[in-house]
Amino acid sequence: MQPPDRPGPGRRSLLLAGAGAMAGGWLGAPPAAASPREAGRPGMRLSATDFGAVGDGRADDTQALQNALTAAFSGAGALLTIPPGDYRVTRGLQVTLTGEVTRQHGIIAHGARLVSEIRGKVSVLRIDSAATARFMLIEGLDILGNGKDGHGIEVLCESKEHYLYNFCLRDVVVQNCGGDGCHLEGNVFEGQLINCYLRHNGGNGATFAHGRRAGILSAMHVMGCVFGENAKNGVAMIQGCYDVGFHGCYFLLSGRFGLQAENGCTLLTHCGFENNHEAARDFAGGGAGISLQGFATLVGCTAYSMFKQQRLIDAYVTGRLVMVGCAGSGDAGARQAGLARLRGDGKATATVVGCSGRISYQGGFEGTELGNDGAGGGLRCGAGWQSKNQLRLGDYHLWVDRSGRLRIKDSPPQRDDDGAAVGV
């Protein structure tokens, strides 16, 4: 049996297959404070002020913060407290995890703001894991970019042998950075983003990605976060990534989509999408709150628009799409806004239950609808003999032939005039 602090290859293979499990590291009783000379001791709490950080908005705190971060993320890890204040940062802060970390470590920074004066698309805070690390916590940190820097927070683990998991970003604010608010890539999994505010960044509010060279991002849960006024998308899931769940999040005023999921999205519950596609010229040039290719489950998600957002979701379905209790609507210049525009391949299915808002199907794709406002509150199934969504009563298949007659057969039909005409 593998030790509990080290994932075995069998367990990780489940993650490679897309299995998700939520776990996280929560802040417990604070350990005793340590001086810089004691920084190598695991489980200690350090203070950025002990390394010379001032936080008065005038002093350049870059080197002091770098020294503090290096101490906190070295060896077996420690918790670094950054007291309230404004900390000028003129160069990117970067730490590399090189030791196996199996206890809580990271940054606690409620009331502390990093004020970036960085140029050249360099991330304000970059954490690169070259080891297997658990229980990293970044809590309360506020980053104010200048638009010419890179990502606000960048977390990387591009490795087949190492993992960064069971981590948590909580109560984090990132605004006005030139890149993404938060960028997570590689073997980064079983983590949480909770109550984070990622707004007005030059890239995406957040990006989730498999590694370019190696690493599978999976089993991520995003809860109660806001992605607003980001120049590209609220959130982008790229490079094959799909295993992220969003719960109670809000996506608004993005330049393009609120959420772009190019390979599917495991789950969205009670999320809102409002007035995205701000970069479009008008409503006709806009698009959906969600752009999806692949599969997804949506529960209780809503879309509202007064300007350029046309619907909740545009999807090319290649697996299974399920929508329950979702709604899409608009006012003012977006009165024609609806719920969904769906296309798909021959193996795909879409099931829409108890939703409101107009649904359009393209390319011969059909869904099954039950109790939707747009379907008159009844049941809508596929009509043709080749439809994947035929009405079935037990073993009997029903369809409408080219002459408009209802036909029935006790097995799948093989042609349009198969079976028997009903009522003839």
Residue 11 pLDDT: 35
Name residue, tokens 């970069």.
279
pLDDT in tens, 300-317: 999 999 999 999 999 999
Q: Do residues 69 and 109 lie in contact, with contact meaning Cβ atoms separated by under 8 Å?
A: no
d(CA 164, CA 156): 8
Residue 106 pLDDT: 96
d(CA 226, CA 240): 24
d(CA 250, CA 185): 22
Residue 374 pLDDT: 62
Confidence of residue 3 (pLDDT cuts 50, 70, 90): very low
Does the structure show a pLDDT above 70 at 38?
no
Does the structure show a pLDDT above 70 at 40?
no
Confidence of residue 243 (pLDDT cuts 50, 70, 90): very high
Burial 10-49 (b: 16+ CB within 10 A, else e): eebeebeeeebeebbbeeeeebeebeeeebeeeebebbbe
d(CA 336, CA 305): 9
Q: Residue 154: beta bridge partners?
A: 126, 183
Question: What average pLDDT does the segment 23-38 reach?
Answer: 40
Sign of the Cα pseudo-torsion (167, 171, 172, 174, in order): positive
Question: What average pLDDT does the segment 347-359 reach?
Answer: 95
Does the structure show a pLDDT above 90 at 321?
yes
What token pair was written down for 205?
A: 């509010």
Confidence of residue 237 (pLDDT cuts 50, 70, 90): very high
Length of the chain: 424
Confidence of residue 373 (pLDDT cuts 50, 70, 90): confident
For 18, 77, 135, 167, 355, the CA distances from 7, given in Å and listed in that order, are 16, 19, 14, 15, 41
Does the structure show a pLDDT above 50 at 351?
yes
Average pLDDT, the chain: 90
Question: What average pLDDT does the segment 249-259 reach?
Answer: 98
Residue 15 pLDDT: 41
d(CA 384, CA 143): 56
> Alpha helices of 35-126 — where are they, by DSSP H?
62-72
φ and ψ of 332, to 5 deg: 50, -125
Does the structure show a pLDDT above 90 at 26?
no
Confidence of residue 388 (pLDDT cuts 50, 70, 90): confident
> Which range has the worst mean pLDDT, 9-23, 144-158, 335-349?
9-23
d(CA 333, CA 280): 13
Question: What average pLDDT does the segment 43-55 reach?
Answer: 94
Of the two residues 26 and 200, the one the predictor is more confident about is 200
Residue 156 pLDDT: 97
For 138, 313, 391, the CA distances from 381, given in Å and listed in that order, are 48, 20, 6
What token pair was written down for 363?
A: 């390319």
Does the structure show a pLDDT above 70 at 423?
yes
Does the structure show a pLDDT above 50 at 27?
no
pLDDT in tens, 165-207: 999 999 999 999 999 999 999 999 999 999 999 999 999 999 9
pLDDT in tens, 63-94: 999 999 999 998 888 999 999 999 999 999 99
Does the structure show a pLDDT above 80 at 35?
no
Does the structure show a pLDDT above 70 at 389?
yes
Residue 376 pLDDT: 65
> Alpha helices of 212-347 — where are they, by DSSP H?
none
Q: Count other Cβ atoms within 10 Å, centred on residue 88.
A: 19
Question: What average pLDDT does the segment 103-122 reach?
Answer: 96
Q: Do residues 242 and 215 lie in contact, with contact meaning Cβ atoms separated by under 8 Å?
A: no
Does the structure show a pLDDT above 60 at 129?
yes
Confidence of residue 328 (pLDDT cuts 50, 70, 90): very high
